[in-house]
Amino acid sequence: MCRSIKTLRPPAIPEKATEEEIRAAALQYVRKVSGFRAPAAHNREVFDAAVDAVAEATRLLLDGVQVRGRAAAAV
């Protein structure tokens, strides 16, 4: 796993993850699996779409995950 990606749910962080934190984690994931720190121009569109998709999946996960019996959104 990419060591730059941090846990984005309580209690690892005190409050709900920010859009910036979610996007940074998504970018690190896509960089890791693609092997590109910055894609060439001809790969930029698919790279950015992947970051968007991973960020959205992360939002859905964090909004739905339950922390110790409570909804994460209520923390």
Structural domains of the chain, count: 1
Judge whether 5 lies within some domain. no
Whole domain around residue 63: which residue ranges?
A: 19-74
This prediction's pTM: 0.81
What does the pLDDT read at residue 75? Answer: 44
Both tokens assigned to 5: 């990606």
Judge whether 10 lies within some domain. no
Judge whether 1 lies within some domain. no
Judge whether 23 lies within some domain. yes
Judge whether 52 lies within some domain. yes
What does the pLDDT read at residue 71? Answer: 52
What does the pLDDT read at residue 37? Answer: 93
**What dihedral angle (degrees, nearest 10) is formed by the CA atoms of 15, 19, 24, 29?**
90
Chunked in runs of 10, what are the mean pLDDT values of the chain (75 residues)?
A: 75 87 95 94 97 97 80 48
Judge whether 13 lies within some domain. no
DSSP 4-44: T----STTTSSSPPPHHHHHHHHHHHHHHHH--SS--GGGH
Judge whether 9 lies within some domain. no
